[in-house]
């Protein structure tokens, strides 16, 4: 836990799942569960910075859950707020909670008033098969003490149950667990949106991507803006080894209707990535240079739950079930190679007006 520090203003714990295991009653469904303490200005005017996400989706349009945000009581712990403590991960928000220490965690999520039409209870055991990958951080050897950092456990083994309106389904599959925190200095003036992906491919690989949009890029495609920055990671062995490409371009090809003036939520993407020549990443990307390594893919959000905060907040979030296909290509001493792929997973997009 970090948001108890005066230097840290927001913190996320985010779990995704793709139910593609052999012991499955919900084959090819996906789930996302997130606990977040946001900075006061992130949801401007609401005074409710604690966010809970409980979402269950499939490719045919079935969906349960969504998002809710409530007040955080400083110094007075009351029901309905995010409570976090140590050691390891120990979270609670209403009746939802997470407990565990790497490499294993148990996630219990209830949709409660998020989805009044259905009762959903998710119980999942996560087991990481490898060490986490640090995707953000300002300190080389003490990343957990940094005020800006993020790590992700890729391709965790998952098993448990999902209860929908009293009917219990046994599920298994794979997913990710990500933990991110950032300082008060990072505001909506610097990061005005993001696109985030966790994809399980049919060939057994996993692809993770995060892309951040500086102002005013998220406002409209007609404005020439600062370039986005992000990373895409491919693992072929459950996170034991990872290939990270820092030169990532996410192009939104289809957008939904406007959620408020000048802002639309994305529903289809083209992704391309390659090693970066940026001096900041040159050392970590050096082994990839000269391989002509590149990833190209296109994905569509075929089902989603959306949350819109209107005046005075003007923030929209879209959490979706994603279909993706593409190709990874490279060259080496044995010649040129190209591996086509396809898969399913979870996306999460945020856009802000200001």
| Cβ proximity of 302 and 320 under 8 Å | yes
> Residue 42: CA atoms inside 13 Å, Cβ hemisphere, count?
22
In angstroms, the CA 347 to CA 196 distance is: 5
Using DSSP's 3-state secondary structure scheme, residue 144 falls into: helix
C-alpha angle 97/101/102, rounded to 5°? 125
Cβ 210 vs Cβ 230: under 8 Å:
yes
pTM as predicted: 0.90
Is residue 224 very low, low, confident or very high in pLDDT (cuts 50, 70, 90)?
very low
* pLDDT for the residue 142: 60
Closest alpha carbon to 179 in 7, 13, 347 = 13
The torsion angles phi and psi of 258, rounded to 5 degrees, stand at -60, 135
CB within 8 A of 106, min separation 6: which ones?
Answer: 98, 99, 100, 123, 124, 125, 126
State pLDDT tens for residues 110-148.
998 899 899 999 999 999 999 999 887 755 556 667 788
- Give 332: exposed, middle or buried? Use CB within 10 Å, 0-12, 13-18, 19+: exposed
Confidence band of 289 (pLDDT split at 50, 70, 90): confident
Residue 191's pLDDT band (boundaries 50, 70, 90)?
A: low
Residue 220 has a pLDDT of 45
- On the question of pLDDT at 82 being above 70, the answer is yes
């Amino acid at each position: 836990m970090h948001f108890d520090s005066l230097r840290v203003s927001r913190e996320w714990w985010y779990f995704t799942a793709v139910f593609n295991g052999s012991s499955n009653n919900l084959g090819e469904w996906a789930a996302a569960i997130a606990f977040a303490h946001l900075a006061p200005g992130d949801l401007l005017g609401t005074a409710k910075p604690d966010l809970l996400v409980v979402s269950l989706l499939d490719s045919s349009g079935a969906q349960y859950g969504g998002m809710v945000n409530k007040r955080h009581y400083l110094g007075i712990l009351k029901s309905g707020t995010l409570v976090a403590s140590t050691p390891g991960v120990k979270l609670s928000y209403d009746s939802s909670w997470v407990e565990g220490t790497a490499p294993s965690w148990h996630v219990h999520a209830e949709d409660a008033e998020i989805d009044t039409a259905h009762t959903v209870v998710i119980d999942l055991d996560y087991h990481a098969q490898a060490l986490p990958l640090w995707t953000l951080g300002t300190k080389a050897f003490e990343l957990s003490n940094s005020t800006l950092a993020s790590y992700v456990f890729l391709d965790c083994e998952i098993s448990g149950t999902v209860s929908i309106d009293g009917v219990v389904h046994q599920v298994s599959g794979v997913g990710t667990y990500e933990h991110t925190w950032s300082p008060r200095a990072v505001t909506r003036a610097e990061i005005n949106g993001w696109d985030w992906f966790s994809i399980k491919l049919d060939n057994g690989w996993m692809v993770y991507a995060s892309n951040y949009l500086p102002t005013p890029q998220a406002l409209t495609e007609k404005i020439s803006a600062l370039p986005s920055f992000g990373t895409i990671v491919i693992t072929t062995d459950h996170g034991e080894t990872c290939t990270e490409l820092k030169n990532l371009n996410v192009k939104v090809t289809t957008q939904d209707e406007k959620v408020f003036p000048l802002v639309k939520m994305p529903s289809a993407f083209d992704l391309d990535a390659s090693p970066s020549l940026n001096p900041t990443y040159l050392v970590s990307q050096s082994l990839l240079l000269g391989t002509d390594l590149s990833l190209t893919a296109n994905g569509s959000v075929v089902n989603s739950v959306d949350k819109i905060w209107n005046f005075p907040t003007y923030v929209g979030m879209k959490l979706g079930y994603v279909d993706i296909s593409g190709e990874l290509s490279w060259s080496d001493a044995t010649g040129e190679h190209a591996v086509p792929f396809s898969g399913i997973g979870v996306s999460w997009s945020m856009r802000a007006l200001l």
